Amino acid sequence: MQLTLPPLLRLLLPALFCPLCLTAGAAFAAEKTPTPILPISAQQAKALGIETETLARAGAGLAAGLPAEVRVPNEQLRVVAAPLAGMVVAIDVAAGQSVKKGQTLARLASPALLGAERDYLQAAQAAQLATQAARRDEQLFAEGIIAEARVQATRSAFEQASVGLAARREELRLAGVSDTALTSLAQQRRLPSEVLIAAPMAGVVLEQTVQTGQRVDAAAPLFRIGRLSPLWLEIQVPASLAASLREGLAVNVAVSGAAGNSSASGRIINVGRQIGAGSQTVTVRAQLDKGADRLSPGQMVEASIDVPVSSGAPAAGDAGKVFRVAQTALARIDSLTYVFVAEGEGFRAQPVNTVGQAGDYVLLQSPALNAQTRIATRGLSSLKSAWSVLRDSAESKAAAADSAAKPAGGK
C-alpha cells in the first residue's frame, strides 16, 4: 500500500530519515532508549505551522475532574436504635424529612417496658417508705428515745432505697421515657406500654430501616439522622498528585440544578496515607462550608483542587514538578500521552504522565522535563505524522535486521 503524505511532509522525509537511517532501528528496538529526534529546521517548522513555548511550572495548577463522594461528617451522624425489644406500632417520619431535637420518630410497643415500669414503681414506693422511716428515727434519736445504731441502720436503708430508685429511673430514661412521663407514672400509677422514639438532635432523616408492624430486638437500628451542614467530600486523587497536596487547599464542586449551575467550595482537612491497591488513588477529605445545601449525602460529583507546585531553579529535583500546558500541546499515540520537546534542530516525542486538568489546560509530570524545556504547542498533527512514519520505518528496519540475523546466528 502506498502512503500519501502532505506536500510539506514529503519535503521533510529526506531530512527525517537520512540522519537516522543507521540508528533509528536500534533506538526503537531498545525498550528504554529515548525516542529519536525528528530533524526539522526553523524554516521547515515555520512552514508546517509549528510553534513552541517554554514549559513553565504552574504556580498553582488546578486538578479538575477528580471523582468524589459527598459524605456526612461522623460527628454529625446519629443512629437511633430500639431501646427495648418490641413491635413498631407507628412511624411518624420518613426518609428525607427534617426533624427537630426531641421530635417523635416512632412508637414501640414493648412488654419489657411494663416490667421496667413496675420495677420503678416498686423502687419509688420503697424509697418513700425509707424516707418516712428516716425522718421518724431522726426525730426519735434527737429526743434520745432510740439508740444511734438504729438511726444509722435507717439512714443506710434510706440511701439504698434512693440508689435503687435512681437506677430504675435511669433504666426508663434509656428506654426513651421522658422526665415528664416518669413524674406522671409516679403520681398516677399508670403503666403505658408504648415507648416514644425521639430524635436525639435536629437534622434530616437519612435512612429508615424498619416498617410499621415489624418486631425488633433491643439495640436494633431504626433510623439514621444527620446534620447536613457542613458536609465532607471524599475525593479520589492519583497517588502521584496526592504527594503535592496539604491541608487547607481550596476545593470546588460544580453543582447543576433547576436554578442553574452553581458551586460548592471548601478546604482540604485530611490527606490519606493509604493507597488503593487497584485504583492507585489516595482518599483526600475536604469540608464544604459554602454551597453544601445544594448537595446530598452519597452524591457522586467531580471536584477540583488548587494544586500547589514548589518553585525554584530547575535542577535534578524537577522530576517531581507539575507543569501546566495547553491541551493542544499533547499528542496521544498508542494509548500513551506525549509532548514534542524542541532539541537543537528538531523535536523529540517525550512521554508524560497527566495528573489533572483545568479547562483547556492539563497538569503533567515527567522526570525528563524542567522549567527550561521548550515544547511544541501548535502544528502537532504534522509532527505526529512525521514521527509515526519514522517510527514505523525504524521498526520495519529493525524487524528486517533481526530476520537477517537469525539464520546467520543459527548456523
**Model confidence pLDDT, tens digit, residues 79-90:** 999 988 999 999
**Percentage of the chain surpassing pLDDT 70?**
81
HSE of 312, CA atoms in CB hemisphere, 13 A? 9
Q: List Cβ<8 Å contacts ≥24 apart for 179-187.
A: 182/120, 185/117, 185/120, 185/121, 186/120, 186/121, 186/124
In CATH, what class is 14-59+312-395? mainly beta
pLDDT for residue 37: 81
pLDDT for residue 117: 82
pLDDT for residue 98: 96
CA distances (Å), origin 11, targets 2, 48, 281, 386 = 17, 11, 47, 11
Q: Could you report the per-residue pLDDT of 357-404, keeping only the tens digit for each?
A: 654 567 788 888 888 899 998 888 888 888 777 777 766 776 777 777
Output the pTM of the full model: 0.56
pLDDT for residue 116: 84
Averaged in consecutive runs of 10 residues, what is the pLDDT profile of the chain (411 residues)? 45 44 34 66 86 72 83 96 93 96 93 84 90 91 89 92 89 78 76 84 96 94 96 92 88 75 90 91 95 92 77 41 81 86 88 71 81 88 81 71 64 46
- Closest residue by Cα to residue 288 from 264, 316, 314: 264
Return residue ranges of the chain for CATH 2.40.30.170: 64-72+228-308
pLDDT for residue 91: 97
Fold classification of 111-171 (topology level) = Helix Hairpins (1.10.287)
Return residue ranges of the chain for CATH 2.40.420.20: 14-59+312-395
Sign of CA dihedral 107, 108, 114, 120: negative
Cell numbers at 129, concatenated: 417508705
pLDDT for residue 357: 61
CATH superfamily of 64-72+228-308: Efflux pump adaptor protein, beta barrel domain (2.40.30.170)
Cell numbers at 372, concatenated: 527550561
Q: Which CATH architecture group holds 76-110+193-227?
A: Beta Barrel (2.40)
